[in-house]
Amino acid sequence: MAKTRRKKKRTHAVSEENTNGAKKNVKSSSNVPKTFVVKRGKLSHLVKSLTEDVRKIMEPNTASKLKDSKSNKLKDFINVAGPLGVSHFLLFSATENAKYLKICKTPRGPTLTFRIDKYSLERDVKKAQKNPKSRGKSFLNPALVVLNNFSTAGQESEKKLCALTFQNIFPAVNVKKAKLSSCKRVVLVDHDKETNLYRLRHFHVDAKPAKGDRKLRKMLKSREVPDMGRMADISEFFTGAASSPGSDSDVSDSEDDPKTKVQLAQDLDRVNKAKSTAKILLKELGPRLDLELVKVEEGACEGRVLFHQYVEKTVEEVKTQDELRAQKEQLKTKRRKEQEENVKRKEREKERKEREKPKKRPRLREKNDEEKNGDDDWPEEPAKEYKEGDVYEGDKKNKSKKKGGFGSSNKR
């Protein structure tokens, strides 16, 4: 039976509604902050793995497979950041004394330099847990940011700047349009006033139904069917007569705390539905970072120092530094203008030389005396005399040799 041609049911014509929606999505994506997590200088393998863990925190709005080499400079990343829409750089570097993290706002700063006091990798956090959380689909959406002990009243300017940078690294959340199913991770930044450290932690957010029996909630949450082969009745599963003591040890007593119970406004998953009470659970994913603010610079990793933790300068020293910086900038602009003028002058000279250059005319090649004499010395062929009765045979080269064929007589 012959095959019938498939009829087209879809068209490629784009409606006005779709185009308007696409434009809105482009505008919204341009406002989303994007980051580059980059290694600078010679680093140990532990710090290199720390950069990979920090890239996971910043997903999906980061270049998770960025390959940076030793030859790359900061200017290369800044030039690329504009077309790609990258708003922040996270630069890891190290010296003999300490390891540092720089958070830079592109393209004109400011830059915050933190000293890494302590850190733990993601694998170290998972090794300490009994049931570590797998990666799953929680990294498809950006993490939420929670700031603790960042009081605005009577706060210093550098601490306000730290709070703003930690907020602006991650995208803002629209409470009216946000979906609970997309809120799967949270980054907690706590400021310790005694030690003046910024503690960064990364958690996975999970929810469990609050009402009902514990074992029933556990059975609904997990996709595995419980083993009831040794039970005479299903009631033994809920009373716990057949189960061994401590079998439900993974459910802690802290779940009974009323502070952890929340009424859901939307459907979270197949178990937790809207207008139902659920218990919020946090599972640490890692890594851990304890940061100390050391320096604040005006530009992108260069410029006037606005704040320094250990160095204090007088007003006169600051003025002299500003004057030296202004002199350097003037000298730069002067040299740049001279270079541009020299390039234009060389181009003008090149054009002038090309115009003054005479046009080349083709010359005919003249014969030498030897060539002229050689033509006269060439021997002439004697003319062949023909007598009466002779037949002209023609040129030997143009003679056609017939070999056999119809009507030919080959006699030997």
pLDDT score for 412: 47
List the beta strands (DSSP E) in 234-335: 261-263, 277-284, 288-297, 305-308
| Chain segment 344-399, per-residue pLDDT in tens | 999 999 999 888 887 777 666 666 666 666 655 556 666 666 666 666 555 554 54
Q: Any residues with CB less than 8 A from the CB of 199 and at least 6 apart, and which?
A: 188, 189, 190, 191, 192, 288, 289, 290, 291
Decide if 198 contacts 187 (C-beta within 8 A): no
Q: Any residues with CB less than 8 A from the CB of 203 and at least 6 apart, and which?
A: 185, 186, 187, 188, 282, 283, 284, 285
| Chain segment 101-127, per-residue pLDDT in tens | 999 998 888 999 999 999 999 999 999
Long-range contacts formed by 185-189: CB under 8 A, 24+ apart: 185/138, 185/139, 185/141, 185/142, 185/143, 185/144, 185/285, 186/143, 186/144, 186/145, 186/146, 186/282, 187/57, 187/143, 187/144, 187/145, 187/146, 188/146, 188/148, 189/145, 189/146, 189/147, 189/148, 189/150
Beta-bridge mates of residue 207: 280
Residue whose token pair is 């550098």: 158
- φ and ψ at residue 118, rounded to 5 degrees: -145, 155
Q: Environment class of residue 89 by beta-carbon count within 10 Å: exposed (0-12), middle (13-18) or buried (19+)?
A: buried
> Residue 234 carries which DSSP code?
T
> β-pairing, 35-39 with 197-209?
unpaired
Distance in angstroms (rounded) separating the CA atoms of residues 34 and 59: 9
- The Cβ-side half-sphere exposure at 186, using a 13 Å CA radius, reads 17
Q: Any residues with CB less than 8 A from the CB of 180 and at least 6 apart, and which?
A: 264, 265, 266, 267, 268
| Poorest-pLDDT segment among 39-43, 108-112, 398-402 | 398-402
Distance in angstroms (rounded) separating the CA atoms of residues 18 and 98: 53
What type of residue is 6?
R
Beta-bridge mates of residue 220: none
| Chain segment 190-234, per-residue pLDDT in tens | 999 899 999 999 999 888 877 666 666 666 666 677 777 777 777
Distance in angstroms (rounded) separating the CA atoms of residues 339 and 333: 10
Kindly report the average pLDDT of the chain as a whole number: 80
pLDDT at 26 over 50: no
pLDDT score for 247: 41
pLDDT tier at 174 (50, 70, 90 boundaries)?
confident
6 compared with 96, residue with greater pLDDT? 96
Tokens of 94: 């190290």
